Chains A and B, each alone.
Chain A
């Protein structure tokens, strides 16, 4: 099968004043469709930088990035925007919801930039995604009226709403309690089972157990790339957790 993501000698430098920060140094790897990859590493190791490039939000200083066989470097800004709209779901570490905007409107947003969706389809899809993250009772809450965990779940719903081929998450469970984390993880595993490609940045080693592959970064290098043959089930962990009464 063709690689869905292939990066070759990716470098990303940031110039801060007179200093150059090498956030990524010659990173190369390929990801096949249907893989669930966790990217781990200490803070500052370049995880977010890598994920931003994979999400077409940032451009590398050098190196190649092939998305679905196409060179992202050679794409125009509009093509990259189309890719983000149609094929990629991105979950930010800091949620990045629209201020003072309801959960429903936030989740509908990607579909508003896709003319293929009618008003009704948009709403149906958004409600479906909000239900999947357990926020069906909070659809008219505004972003400033929600807790961090709720906002993160809205962000996850928004990333899923366009049925992306690739779902990229930057510490998506960082602000969630254990139970909700496993709920989200179980959701991701269901998406994985559907055949979607997932890339999950985390600093929590436990999460790696639930993915099919784990890449470890340090100082902008890949120092470990391991496949996991014994994938745990988040749903089972979830079932074993004591039930909460809401």
Chain B
């Protein structure tokens, strides 16, 4: 048999029944495109949250003071003052796997330069903090160990602070600004980081030596926190454990007594967030799966509804000389054409919808290759199967029984 003729037969059958073909294709298109776009939305938000965590600094651990217990009584309303310089020194010298470690104090207030002023925050830290928070100096220089030792009144400012204070484009280097009446000489400008994914301006910041802020600006004997970064993510849990041990020792906390500090890794925080996106992704995948199912049922329905009509057609074709394999080949060609082109359109539409969401609504979307492959396969296989299977059944009937089929 000339299979070219069967292809002609298949194409004629398709072009004479465009509506039936279109409806079958529609099921496939809906199924494929919704799975792809749903999963793209889920994956996009997951990636965006992961990016936010990366921005904060990976492998970061933050130690913060907690309410002190004095004689078994929780000291409420007292500013927590449990973290001292010796705690920082103990962590820096005793805890293994540390990459960087910085003490941390902060104050919000008004910064003034000449006639200009702006609200901002100043951070007292050491050089290590720059690595932990991914900061770098773009112009001028970072303060030195000497500055730290001397509690020098120098600072490095973010671009937003520069923009707010030096509106005429003066060179900020060497200028003296005042923060809560304390003068600071600008020795560097931070490389701009822009807004983070939560919409906070990361350039609205002033950093200065820890000693300067603690002693000269705040005049307090304690610190607001200790920032630590670990050499590798896999050590985070170990380091948390070590820090807890070291601090309990320096604070003289024993047995079942409660810690007067908190040690948290960003990884832990990120886990909570990724958990949330996972739930979202699962939800969207479910919606996509349901669409796939609905699409599949749609395909089956159309195929099933047309079984009677097509069984008669098969009977007729056999009555004028078509053999079983001719019928099967024709139906296979037909359903492959329908399913594959429906699948391709569905993939195009799904990716297009995802890109449109990003373009018009700014949603973070990311098309997953496996969602394309799986949805395409599921739909085309369903389409081909439900096109082929009834044909196989019908082609085994007596021609007259197929013609009379109801």
Contacts and interface: CB of A to CB of B under 8 A. Distances in A.
A98 B305 CA distance: 17
A112 interface: yes
Interface in B383-406: 398-401, 403
B321 A57 contact: no
A84 interface: yes
25 contacts: A55-B319, A57-B319, A57-B398, A59-B398, A77-B323, A77-B324, A78-B323, A81-B318, A81-B323, A82-B321, A85-B321, A90-B320, A92-B403, A98-B13, A98-B313, A99-B16, A99-B17, A100-B17, A109-B320, A110-B321, A112-B5, A112-B8, A113-B322, A115-B1, A162-B321
A110 B398 CA distance: 18
Contacts of A78: 323-324
Interface in A95-153: 96-101, 105, 109-110, 112-115, 142
Contacts of A90: 319-320
B400 A58 contact: yes
Contact of B319 (A77, A96, A101): A96
Interface string B314-334: 011111111110100000000
B interface secondary structure, majority: helix
Contact of B399 (A57, A109, A113, A115): A57
A192 interface: no
B157 to A, nearest CB: 78
Contact of A112 (B9, B315, B403): B9
Interface in B1-44: 1-2, 5, 8-9, 12-13, 16-17
B145 interface: no
Contacts of A55: 319
Interface residues of A, number: 31
B309 interface: yes
B5 A115 contact: yes
Interface of A: 52, 55-59, 77-78, 81-82, 84-86, 90, 92, 96-101, 105, 109-110, 112-115, 142, 158, 162
Nearest to A159: B320
Interface of B: 1-2, 5, 8-9, 12-13, 16-17, 309, 312-313, 315-324, 326, 398-401, 403
A171 to B, nearest CB: 15
A113 B400 contact: no
Contacts of B401: 58
Contacts of B17: 99-100
A99 B399 CA distance: 17
Nearest to A97: B316
A84 B319 contact: yes
Contacts of B315: 96
Given A78-B324, A113-B322, 15 more contacts: A57-B400, A81-B323, A84-B319, A85-B322, A92-B403, A98-B13, A98-B313, A99-B16, A99-B313, A110-B320, A112-B5, A113-B320, A113-B323, A115-B2, A158-B320
